Structure 1
Amino acid sequence: MKKLYGVVVPIVTPFTPEDEVDVEGLKRLTDFLIDKGVHCLYPAGSTGEMLLMNVEERKILAETVVKQAAGRVPVFIQAGAMNLRDTLELAAHAVSVGADGIAIVTPSYFGLSDDELFIYYKTIADSVPADCSVYMYGIPQCSVNDITPELAVRVAEACPNVVGLKYSFNDMIRLQKFMEIRGGDFSVFSGCDNMFAMTALAGADGIVSGNAQAIPEHYVAIWNAVKEGDAKKAMSLQSRTNMLNNIMCRNFDKARFKAVLKHRGVLEYDFMRAPLQPLDTEEAENMNRLLDEKEFTKVLM
């Protein structure tokens, strides 16, 4: 079964002035990230504004990234939607266009029991081919619903093609419990940048980082240090990650990613899907000036 690894980027969705998916910008972003050495792409996640897009737009997003990546890196499509019908349709579409796997965020707004979440994940896992890798995705601070270790074990035992989990809440103890599933063979990713080096050194398979699309050089350097067994360097780079978070992970972080990518010449536009709004010009200029001064794109030796 295919698995995510290393620096996984939940890419933003570029939009045109007409509020349509910016296909050419999406192609440039895909090439930029692959050229910078990221290991996997993860379209239609929270950073991609997925719940503000309709099914057809999300299909365009999936098709474009899979085709542009052309097998150079794995592409896992986040297919979770606001209802099961759309989720099943998006999961089937991801398989049909050649994605390497899918991820499924927990349902949102309505609180669900573990039994209901189990049925949800099993229904989706059973709907795709047995060799289609599926990741669970928990982000309880946004979705209301959470993934407990007990639920993850139950799903992993019932669904062989559920190969791992992305967990975007700052809980090291829970992440380590996830890492014990299937005797340590369950693929686990943190979505918290301030824990990247620590979780990777503890055995996580990498990071799913929105920041990494804006400053991919820095995140790839941390992963390389971890793989080389250089914990001191990884932790030194992590301290710069925490500084980067103070700049990038404020309000409107998705808008900040687009503003940086526009500044770097990757995206032509920094439009957001309403009701989200782009950064105002002055704030974007101040942020990019600070990032340039700190030389985050220059990997420290």
Structure 2
Amino acid sequence: MPTPVSHPPGRLELARCVVEDGWTLRRAAERFQASVSTTKRWADRYRAHGEAGMVDASSRPHHSPRRTPTHRERRVIKLRCLKRWGPARIAGHLGMCASTVHRVLTRYKCARLSHLDRATGRTVRRYERERPGELVHVDIKKLGNIPDGGGHKTLGRPQGRKNRANVGYAFLHNAVDDHSRLAYTEILADEKKETAVGFWERANSYFASVGITVERVLTDNGSCYKSHLWRDALVKAGIKHKRTRPYRPQTNGKVERFNRTLVDEWAYARPYRSETEKREAFGGWLHEYNHHRFHTAVGGPPASRVPNLSGQYT
């Protein structure tokens, strides 16, 4: 059985049958199960270039008269670097098509805006720890409580404002493992140092129960995390404490991203009629996040990276 014509050895054999052995195009085409036009093309290329002509040639045209002029491309790149605008805004400013601007940015390998630091414009360095527990990100997310009867999303803004009086806030204390993105969260009444330390002790016990030994904890510079009580709790457990640089929340980006996911997919996902209803929905959402929700950076749910975690198939 001859080598398929889609591979260089098969093309060479076909071309030699026609050029060197004198086969007709139709006979060679039938023998190698190819069309007559394909057989003629490879035979002609063999005559012109020998064995070197049997490899695939580039499909790129020799000339691109409709390609965006170089000076135009330079203006696109300049606006991207100086203004950090997206394709649609650059296109509107220059009177170009947004898809053309996008192709220019892709051709010059410009990083996505979401991958750039907003302050400096430099590409953000992505990292991921090698094993669960090597680093755990900790943060607090403050959310307004929902009054009985619902807030403005249920009742509309005028009535929602009236109904909102004196309902207070909830403080979500979150701990997210850097490697697996496994999250442990509690809804608590405040962000005092005693509350934060109590949360961490329970979070650490949870991670230990699924086989994760926490080595380092990363927090921002909140007062509860700068307290002696927090420091002593981590020292007692043999855990190193790291803090982000001031005004650099992206350093703690994994828990910041978890906060955003939490808000989008649970807290503001639907209009709740009361704070109790919202909190009752939280346990199910957190289970879904840890065990079933596909995480693009992980390639599956966080549970897929924690072998000892039970419940991932329920």
Q: TM-score, normalised by structure 2?
A: 0.27
Q: TM-score, normalised by structure 1?
A: 0.28
* Larger of the two Rg values belongs to structure: 2
Bigger RCO of structures 1 and 2 (CA < 8 A, at least 6 apart): 1
